[in-house]
Amino acid sequence: MKNTPFTEKHIALGAKMAAFAGYNMPISYTGINDEHQAVRTNAGVFDVSHMGEFMLKGEHALDLIQRVTSNDASKLTAGKAQYSCLPNLDGGIVDDLLVYCIEENKVYMLVVNASNIEKDWNWISQYNTKGVEMHNISDKTCLLAIQGPNATSLLQPLTEVDIVNMKYYTFTKGTFAGVPNVLISATGYTGAGGIEIYFEDVDGAADKIWDAIFAAGGPKGLKPIGLGARDTLRLEMGFCLYGNDIDDRTSPMEAGLGWITKFTKEFTSSEKFAKQKADGITQKLVGFEMVDKGIPRHDYEIKDADGNVIGRVTSGTQSPTMQKAIGLGYVKTAFTAQDSEIFIAVRDKSLKAKVVKVPFLS
């Protein structure tokens, strides 16, 4: 099991640790609800250094990205990032990812899910027929996500970059906590605002940055946050989690990701997706709230009023913000309208739920 440069910090802080994607990661410190509320109302720090990063360089780098991703990366200029996915040959999804344009048409960074690093690397490599320079920099890249409405104001004294006014999905490189060449990105997985910072752990950079962040924000309530709250935060926003809500068998059209599926170019499975767009789909990912008391969990069956199976739950939790049980799941398209009545099979019971608009938080 791998460690991140911050593992000892987590242990010293009393984090509950567990294996995740081959890494020893913090699940919670003071409790998921407490950490969740800290991010929603103030600020919190996530160690997400387990994520994967690939650098693609050369005159054909953009061509390769265009070939393997669903979104249109030609729209990116230097300093802008984009959410996208890697479709497979069968109309499913290899992974979802972020594409960072470092130098237009020439240098890009792809950020992929930790559990899919080798899978994604092999998938992209097989389409690299024009000699694009590829580097897997995952093991040497640290990634901290500092999220929450007060995150940027708390951290502004640590950098000359105007992070308070950074536009969503833009980034720049600068000095952070005295460490040069830090990529500072106005992105995140919580819907609460904030930044993510990428850097190498050279000359004690990881300790320096971590300590500086908590020196600046700790007295004002900034907290370390585990992966448990990361999951409840992203679910409240309706953000898809690979392996739960999207996978090799689900299409972006079914998952509500048509907005990152651009038909201005040809890419893997683009014909299949275009046909789905034209003909319609048979199932769709929806959000739902429980009406009856109970927590929906991954892979629970979804039924209609007559007990017929119409889909399955992909993610579910008790929302700390809303104080009610919520979930995502695929259902037949006849049941996707807002307020549609559905039933979640929990053990030997069918519990009533209703389809609602996503994100769950307005």
* CATH number of domain containing 165: 3.30.1360.120
Contact yes or no for 66/73 (Cβ under 8 A): yes
Residue 324 falls within a domain, yes or no?
yes
Residues 159 and 226 occupy one common structural domain: yes
User: Is residue 103, in this structure, part of any structural domain at all?
Assistant: no
Per-residue pLDDT of the chain (362 residues; tens, 9 = 90+): 999 999 999 999 999 999 999 999 999 999 999 999 999 999 999 999 999 999 999 999 999 999 999 999 999 999 999 999 999 999 999 999 999 999 999 999 999 999 999 999 999 999 999 999 999 999 999 999 999 999 999 999 999 999 999 999 999 999 999 999 999 999 999 999 999 999 999 999 999 999 999 999 999 999 999 999 999 999 999 999 999 999 999 999 999 999 999 999 999 999 999 999 999 999 999 999 999 999 999 999 999 999 999 999 999 999 999 999 999 999 999 999 999 999 999 998 999 999 999 999 97
pLDDT at 122: 98
Residues 219 and 302 in one domain: no
Q: Give the angle subtended at the CA of 253 by the CAs of 241 and 83, to the nearest 5°.
A: 50
Q: Are 187 and 196 in contact (CB under 8 A)?
A: yes
Distance CA(281)–CA(301), nearest Å, equals 20
pLDDT at residue number 362: 78
Q: Kindly give the pairing relationship between strand 81-87 and strand 179-185.
A: unpaired
Alpha-carbon distance 166 to 289, whole Å?
A: 34
The answer on 307 and 229 residing in a single domain is no
Per-residue DSSP letter, 159:
B
Q: Are 228 and 35 a contacting pair, CB within 8 Å?
A: yes
Peptide bond into 180 cis (omega under 30): no
Q: Tell me, yes or no, whether 214 and 323 share the same domain.
A: no
254 annotated to bind ligand: no
Instruction: Tell me: do 144 and 230 sit in the same domain.
Output: yes
Are residue 28 and residue 148 in the same domain, yes or no?
yes
Last residue of a domain, one of 216, 236, 256: 236
> Is position 95 within any domain?
no
Task: Tell me the pairing of strands 223-225 and 44-47.
Answer: parallel
The answer to whether residues 143 and 210 belong to one domain is: yes
CB atoms within 10 A of CB 328: 26
Chain mean position to CA 303: 29
On whether residue 78 sits in a domain, the answer given is no
Residue 39's domain spans which residues?
A: 7-49+139-236
Domain assignment present for residue 336? The answer is yes
Closest CA to 289 of 362, 344, 345, 350: 344
The verdict on residue 30 lying in a domain is: yes
In the chain, how many domains are there? 2
Indicate if 148 and 227 belong to the same structural domain. Answer: yes
Question: Is 99 within a domain?
Answer: no
My answer on whether 223 and 286 are in the same domain is no
- Asked whether residue 224 falls in the same domain as residue 288, the answer is no
Residue 15 belongs to a domain: yes
Same domain, yes or no, for 228 and 306? no
Q: Which of 199, 219, 236 is the last residue of a domain?
A: 236
Taking a C-beta distance cutoff of 8 angstroms, is the pair 279, 90 a contact?
A: no
End-of-domain residue from the set 203, 236, 269: 236
CATH of the domain at 308: 2.40.30.110
Same domain (yes/no): 175, 320 = no
Q: Which two tokens stand for residue 218?
A: 């700790």
Query: Which pLDDT value is given to residue 318?
Result: 97
| pLDDT tens figures, 280-323 | 999 999 999 999 999 999 999 999 999 999 999 999 999 999 99
Q: How far is CA 152 from the centre of its chain?
A: 20
Closest CA to 313 of 293, 298, 303: 298
Q: What is the pLDDT of residues 175-190, one digit of tens each?
A: 999 999 999 999 999 9
pTM of the complete model beyond 0.75: yes
